[in-house]
Structure 1
């Protein structure tokens, strides 16, 4: 595709996106920005959550990862479904009962101010890094397709990309995101289904023939039970999926802002369970597309150095009709910008409510503060994208989950200890515990092969991080009767 055709595709999508965002958020107040006024319809939220859980990372990295791990990612997705059940029946009723704007307000009521700030700062670090990594992927693609051929620097690319995200989220917040995420979901599903059809046609296969080719390929293996030391071992992936989704969905202000926008906890539970099951089938479509992409690359003698470059290279390289390239750009743009927009909204909410505080402020004062924070978060996200791009040397999806293993572990540990243990914790020591746990995990990961007979930690490191946090909290706690 030429840079002009890419820009025209982006322009058409953003006209629709800004229209939807404006119509949904034109009357939003602070409550609309933070919680959507708790009036969202659960079927709409469930449909939107499919797109919300699928970022540009999924769109590009999941098809490429089948070469190294087959369909093994579905083991983790099964864990996602189990984790969603825990979120639905443990966390959601608790958060609705407490009528929280930010989920980290729970930590203040359970432990104290230091715990509250610790959870908020770890979320800030987690979400900022994760969102920057995800948005960096679309910036890299745009650099290859538009900015690079035009001789424009990556810094300008990142600045314009973040500016667009800021523009369509500055007014409506969550109230807009529900509808823009619904648009994203529609674009993603249509894009991947049509791309599968065009890939099958490019290989000279019918849809039935394409399905048979996928199932007979050695890349379609799902379950790995044979070697516990393998990063793809089933129980590693499944348990990592369970705890990752609890941490990155249930204890993440970004994702829970949407869930808490439903009218009540029962409707939020319906949303969570429906979106979890539908997400499985959408991920399956991406993996099937990945197999077809590799079969196509092999048949045409196309060499791909990085797995993340597979889909962009074939879709936009002139190997297939131009409509495939257009579908790719629409799908990538929908997934990446929507994910970044929701992250920017959540970062603004958490920083405004949890770190700066809004108690005692008027509606007008909160609105002014929120807008300043929103702009500041956008600038910081742009800076982080440029910095990570200079340092990144791994698969983007691997980078996202590796970061999550370190940064979400203390949050998961704090909530788990608070909900399931009645002991009172010396609040002033909690920041030290939260910092020590990731440090111990780093030491454990670096030495695991030498200490445990070749065992390699995968994303299950998140579980150990949370356990270290719980152990540390126990060590600085007192029985309830002694406080």
Structure 2
């Protein structure tokens, strides 16, 4: 009987057929794009799709990239355990989209960069660019490991397939179409994967509504279980999810992801015009709203079904991240192919994110490390190196999945990683974009101070998890299970996947219940503030950058905020501004071949 605990069925033949068919279809899109663009083998074509992408596919790719398998697996579990406070991220997505579209995208698009971290060298110095790139590589490798691990858990739970076999297969599929297809393959594959993710959620919600007697019953159960108490205006920064931590902390955290993360920036600058780039972000905002709403509804459906028999407490699953796969097999096993569709949804989210990460890692490695040092290169050598790096980073991400398996609840762990590393980086960009005083010494010092603080609090929170009065887990019970262990329990998401409950250290230092209990959503806020304040003060103390001539194109302009429909910047204007910023005699950018510089001089003369 549904919702009463115990073993559930595993995959049928049709489930495997549907799952394999969708994965093969996604890979086929990548291969098709590779064949279609086989005559266009330039590095710009591989990494940026020739800068000819349009708003809708880029928007769907943006949504798919970070609404990954972690969203499919982790967000419904969040609603099941904590209620619908996570829905407030809708406000964060809106604020993030406005800030990114109106401040960051015009700047990056105007500078015609390939790596987001090129800006750090233009504004500050090459060492800062290298440090920023290195931080991105570490962050992305860790995050991608989590993304690979999440659906592997799901497959392991409901198919019995070997966990590490699934991990390796995931990486292999992504490597294939990333290596041969480049960014176009990634974006068009993301479009299919986004559709599959949404269909998977709808199938779960629809069947759950039938089982429970309608959506009204699901909301009634959720209300009785305290899952609809969304708004908590407690200003305590140590409480995990409140209105303030999500709207303020969440907005800055998501801005640090969408504004300066190479995986996202690479998509904006692949658009054919600035108008397309901005529109992609606003369409993506709607996509995020739809995705998180379906994920929340799936979680409420799960609570309605298991309100009297919690699978975690009843030892039916080992971790909260296996809850949704367990429910899928419990309520959909009688419909061959549908469980396969759900697993394909989780798997599709993973493929989209991993492929995006691999492509972005290749881009920053080439632009920030290899091209500036490799002068006598041919286009064919660059193409082969792009492919080789795709294989290398695919293998690295598979290896990081092993580390991810130790980090527990995938949703919080993933967002905490971004807060710890992207927060200080966002502060560095804001220093450079809005103020002329910050110099290289002060900005680098500010970045290191901000990073030290976020790593301190983030690692401390991992070792000394916050207590239940800060995380507020809601009541769960097993009184309706066929065989129960005990009766009423509250459950916290684990920081280790070995047990359903977080085991707190027996001896907790004084900082454990104050500093280390800071909400993970405030890690990015801490990083931004610490980096900007310390960077500005140290820059002022070391003379600022009065002696340096800084191009106006490196700063936010009023025209960036009002340009939308008329943002069709000409290729010649892009070229002019790029040379004004970089300088044709700047040793940091001597990778441009003489014939290109000659052509650019002619363009500027005509202007």
TM-score by length of 1: 0.91
Query: In the alignment, which residue of structure 2 is the partner of 1:125?
Result: 138
Counterpart of 1:223 in structure 2 is 231
Moved more, 47-56 or 411-420: 47-56
1:420 matched residue in structure 2: 434
Query: Displacement of 1:272 after TM fit?
Result: 0.6
Q: Which of these residues, 329, 333, 337, is aligned with residue 316 of structure 1?
A: 329
Tell whether the 8 Å contact from 2:96 to 2:254 is kept in structure 1 after alignment: yes
Kindly indicate whether the alpha-carbon contact (under 8 Å) linking 1:253 and 1:350 is maintained by their aligned counterparts in 2: yes
> Is the 8 Å Cα contact of residues 449 and 456 (structure 1) preserved in structure 2?
no
Q: Name which of 539, 545, 548 aligns with 1:480.
A: 545
1:342 to partner: Cα distance: 0.8
Give the number of equivalent residue pairs: 474
Q: Separation in 2 of the partners of 1:190 and 1:433?
A: 45
Aligned counterparts of 1:288 and 1:336: Cα–Cα separation in 2 = 21
User: What are the superposed Cα offsets for residues 126-184 of structure 1, whole Å, 9 maximum, x if unpaired?
Assistant: 111111111111222233344xx46x4x4443222211110121122211122111101
Q: Distance in 2 between matches of 1:383 and 1:350?
A: 20
Aligned partner of residue 172 in structure 1, secondary structure: helix
Distance 1:325 1:43 in 2: 29
Q: 1:268 aligns with which of 277, 281, 293?
A: 277
2:205 alignment counterpart:
196
Query: Residues of 1 paired with 2:456 and 2:353: CA distance?
Result: 32
Shift in Å at residue 65 of structure 1? 0.7
Determine if the alignment matches structure 1 residue 471 to structure 2 residue 501: no
In the alignment, which residue of structure 1 is the partner of 2:102?
89
Tell me how far 1:16 sits from its aligned partner: 1.0
> Offset at 1:242?
1.3
**Counterpart pick for 2:66 among 40, 53, 56:** 53
Match of 1:374 in 2: 390
Q: What is the CA distance between 1:472 and its match in structure 2?
A: 3.5
Using a 3 Å threshold, how does the CA distance of structure 1 residues 475 and 341 change in structure 2: closer, same or farther?
same
The 1-side partners of 2:98 and 2:367 are apart by 28
Q: Is residue 66 from structure 1 mapped to residue 79 from structure 2 by the alignment? A: yes
Greater mean alpha carbon deviation, residues 205-214 or residues 75-84: 205-214
Q: Is the alpha carbon distance of 1:370 and 1:432 closer, same or farther for their aligned partners in structure 2, counting shifts above 3 Å?
A: farther
2:524 to 446, 451, 462: 462
Q: Does residue 376 of structure 2 align to residue 331 of structure 1?
A: no
**Structure-1 separation of matches of 2:68 and 2:514:** 36
Comparing both chains, which one has the higher relative contact order based on Cα–Cα distances under 8 Å and sequence gaps of 6 or more?
1
RMSD (Å), alpha carbons: 2.5
1:282, distance to aligned residue in structure 2 (A) = 2.1
1:215-255: CA deviation from partner (whole Å, max 9, x where unpaired): 66521222111352422121111112211122111101101
> Secondary structure at 2:84's aligned position in 1?
coil
| Aligned positions of 1:439-454 closer than 5 A | 439-444=452-457, 446=460
CA distance in 2, matches of 1:107, 1:227: 35
Distance 1:448 1:301, change over 3 A: closer
Aligned pairs for 1:385-396 (under 5 A) are 385-389=401-405, 391-392=406-407, 394-396=408-410
* Structure 1 equivalent of residue 112 of structure 2: 99
Q: Report SS of the residue matched to 1:100.
A: coil
Among 113, 128, 132, which residue is 1:115 paired with? 128
Whether 1:350 aligns to 2:364 is yes
| Partner Cα distance (1:31, 1:218) in 2 | 52
Q: Given the alignment of the two structures, is residue 306 of structure 1 paired with residue 324 of structure 2, yes or no?
A: no
Give the 5 Å matches for 1:120-159: 120-146=133-159, 149=160, 152=162, 154-159=163-168
Deviations 1:239-288 (A, max 9, x none): 12211122111101101212222111112111111211231132111101
| Structure 2: unaligned runs, 5 residues or longer | 1-9, 461-509, 549-607
Tell me by how many angstroms 1:441 deviates: 2.9
Alpha-carbon distance in 2 for matches of 1:299, 1:106: 55
Matched, 1:295 2:304: yes
Q: Aligned in 2, Cα 1:4/1:91: closer, same or farther, shift over 3 Å?
A: same
Deviation, structure 1 residue 51: 2.1
Shift >6 Å, 4+ stretches: none
Which structure's residues are more often helix, by fraction?
A: 1
Structure 1 position 187, deviation (Å): 0.8
What SS is found at the alignment partner of 2:279?
helix
Between structure 1 and structure 2, the one with the greater Rg is: 2
Label 1:472 to 1:450 Cα distance change in 2 as closer, same or farther (>3 A): same
Q: CA deviation at 1:434?
A: 3.2
